[in-house]
Amino acid sequence: MILEFIEQNIHPIIYFISIVYLISFIIQLFYWLFIYPKALVIKKTSETSPLPPVSVIICARNEKENLKNNLSEIVKQDYPDFEVIVVNDASTDDSDSVLANYKLKYPHFNYTNIDENINFYHGKKLALTVGIKAAKNELLVLTDADCFPKSKFWLQTIASTFKPGTDIVLGYGGYELKKGFLNKIIQYDTLMVAIQYLGMAAFGFPYMGVGRNLAYRKSVFIKNKGFASHANILSGDDDLFINEVACKQNTSINFSSDGQILSKPKEKINDWLIQKKRHLTTGKHYKLKDKILLGLEYGSKLFLYLTFILLLILNKYLYIVLSLFILRIIIQLIIQKLYMKKLEIKNILLFSPFFDMLIPLINLYLLFTNYLSQRNTKWK
């Protein structure tokens, strides 16, 4: 009966699939030709003179080894006037002694401890708020304990991006290049996230930043009452705050080589999936326009691949279908290559077409599992 229905309506079905394929192709082309390249043509900002004083805020929970290895790269930045504040967030390891040693060696370093409260679980937002309130400078630069700058001019590069009217600077937080297939997936996923949020910000629609490399004015944080509007959500200390306060007029980007932050990538796929799953939970709280823009890109990609496969199976319009598909891949590879060159990401371009199909499926799976877990929690 189903086969008979399909046979009787095969032409309208093929027509519908073809229209969906064409619309998906046009939407994808719009993103890759008009939105994502915008960040690539932004000129490097000249150094502000004099450079303003800045406060670096780092939250750490049981990060003893990372603090040992990475803090020196932060406190030794080539910058005329800055302080580094670490919020030791209820650590149970020996982080306190590591931080005490840094405080003895560096006069511009300070730290504060948050004690564990068995009756109240707090997330990173409280620790960040404590660090921000303790900061003595207007310009705040945020990073994490497991991160280190690529250059001793990191602070100079980020701070020089602040101009009159700039309240927020979005930086790039990447991962160390290592051997292995998982590292290539992580590099590609991080690249695509960067292309999206940096490209959209340059286009005039900033919607998120990464807490590994993010800067904003303390007055903006105070004026918007910090994380008050989403304090009940454990994640989102970076992207939800930026989604709330960022706009075309007050946001700039900087992902030049000297302004980048690196951290160690996950070494087990389950750890990486858990990390991605946590990041995906905040997307539903974005502004409607941002959800529409991101949904259009994500949905058009899924439908492009789905209808492409269907049209190949049906053996219809093969030359046109293949030509459009190859054109989209070529354009995407060119833009990705330009981003990779600027971000100094290597050895993943050849894997790009495969990862371009794989990552959306992984995200779809994680979104579905998030939805199921939320339903089960509500039901209980």
User: Where are the domains positioned within the chain?
Assistant: 2-40+289-373, 44-267
Which amino acid would we find at residue 361? L
pTM of the complete model: 0.91
Determine the straight-line distance between the first and last CA of the chain, rounded to whole angstroms. Answer: 42
Give the model's pLDDT for residue 3: 47
**Separate counts of helices (H) and strands (E) for the chain:** 13, 10
Give the model's pLDDT for residue 117: 65
Distance CA 296, CA 301 (A): 8
CATH architecture of 44-267: Alpha-Beta Complex (3.90)
Give the model's pLDDT for residue 45: 61
**CB within 8 A of 72, min separation 6: which ones?**
none
**Residue 214: what are its φ and ψ, rounded to 5°?**
-145, 140
Give the model's pLDDT for residue 315: 81
Do 109 and 103 touch, CB atoms closer than 8 A?
A: yes
Give the model's pLDDT for residue 12: 80
Distance CA 103, CA 111 (A): 8
Distance CA 170, CA 301 (A): 26
Give the model's pLDDT for residue 379: 29
Please list the residues that pair with 254 across neighbouring strands: 171
Distance CA 132, CA 376 (A): 36
3-state DSSP assignment of residue 325 = helix
Ranges under pLDDT 50 in the chain: 1, 3, 5-6, 376-380
Do 144 and 73 touch, CB atoms closer than 8 A?
A: no
Give the model's pLDDT for residue 279: 79
Helices (H), 31-123: 64-75, 95-105
3-state DSSP assignment of residue 58 = strand
Residue 314 CA: distances (Å) to CA of 5, 16, 30, 133, 289: 16, 13, 27, 62, 36
**CB within 8 A of 240, min separation 6: which ones?**
227, 230, 233, 282, 285, 286
Neighbour order of strands in the sheet with 251-254: 109-114, 82-89, 54-60, 139-144, 214-217, 168-171, 251-254
Helices (H), 135-238: 154-159, 181-203, 218-223
Give the model's pLDDT for residue 375: 54
3-state DSSP assignment of residue 193 = helix
Give the model's pLDDT for residue 374: 62
Distance CA 112, CA 128 (A): 11
CA angle at 247 for the pair 260 and 36, rounded to the nearest 5°: 55
**CB within 8 A of 234, min separation 6: which ones?**
123, 124, 125
